[in-house]
Amino acid sequence: MSVTVQILREAWADPDLPLPEYQTAGAAGADIVANLPPEIRSQGVTLAPMQRLVCPTGLRVAIPDGYEMQIRPRSGLATKHGITLPNTPGTIDSDYRGPLGVALINLGPEVYTIRHGDRVAQAVIAPVIRAAYRLVEALDATERGEGGFGSTGKR
């Protein structure tokens, strides 16, 4: 199945940077790059430990109705530097038309600099099933019951 996501570049965005793209034939996520405004491109943006920021991509998207764009961390950034997303996965709804930003957080012990053109996240397009919510008098019984966090054990 193929879905087309329409993309609009911001007027200030660097047109030489790639649109979201898959790095391998089997990749589930398309890499998204930092497209920094002209006034900060040369120095990049720094993330101190525990600091959060929204990294600009210079893009706006139109996702087809019935789908969402999930913004997920890149495993290399997360494992090597502690750079991840505080709201992973971030959801971009099909009716959102504002700037596409990537919320990042530095969970690592050192300052990290994001450079213009760095791959900062990945986008996964997924179908959305809308549910109906209905109030009931009781819920059906299950073997697990009310067992919550950690109730099924460690192994």
Q: How high is the mean pLDDT of the chain?
A: 95
- d(C-alpha 78, C-alpha 85), whole Å: 9
CATH number at residue 34: 2.70.40.10
With a pLDDT cut of 90, the percent of the chain lying above it is 89
Q: Residue 102 falls within a domain, yes or no?
A: yes
Q: Residue 86 falls within a domain, yes or no?
A: yes
Q: pLDDT tens across 135-145, in order?
A: 999 999 998 88
With a pLDDT cut of 70, the percent of the chain lying above it is 97
Q: What range does the domain containing 50 cover?
A: 6-127
Q: Residue 42 falls within a domain, yes or no?
A: yes
Cβ count near 47 (within 10 Å): 23
For residue 155, what pLDDT is reported? Answer: 73
Cβ count near 91 (within 10 Å): 12
Q: How confident is the model at residue 94 (pLDDT cuts 50, 70, 90)?
A: very high
- Is residue 120 within 8 A of residue 34, CB to CB? The reply is yes
Q: Residue 36 falls within a domain, yes or no?
A: yes
Tokens of 24: 């391998």
Instruction: Give the residue-averaged pLDDT of 87-107.
Output: 96
Q: Residue 140 falls within a domain, yes or no?
A: no
Q: pLDDT tens across 25-81, in order?
A: 999 999 999 999 999 999 999 999 999 999 999 999 999 999 999 999 999 999 999
Q: Residue 149 falls within a domain, yes or no?
A: no
Cα 54–Cα 67–Cα 6 angle in degrees, nearest 5: 70
Query: Looking at the predicted structure, is the pLDDT value of residue 151 above 70?
Result: no
Phi and psi at residue 116, to the nearest 5°: -55, 125
The count of structural domains within the chain is: 1
Query: Looking at the predicted structure, is the pLDDT value of residue 23 above 80?
Result: yes
Q: Residue 139 falls within a domain, yes or no?
A: no
Strand order in the sheet with 90-92: 30-33, 119-127, 67-72, 90-92
Q: What is the pTM of this model?
A: 0.88
Q: Residue 96 falls within a domain, yes or no?
A: yes
For residue 14, what pLDDT is reported? Answer: 98
Query: Looking at the predicted structure, is the pLDDT value of residue 150 above 80?
Result: no
Calculate the alpha carbon distances from 55 to 78, 85, 102, 141 in Å. 16, 11, 5, 45
Tokens of 43: 């120095």
| 38: CB partners within 8 A, 6+ apart | 12
Residue 65 one-letter amino acid: D
- DSSP code string of 40-84: GTTT-EEE-TT-EEEEEEEEEEEPPTTEEEEEE--HHHHHHH-EE
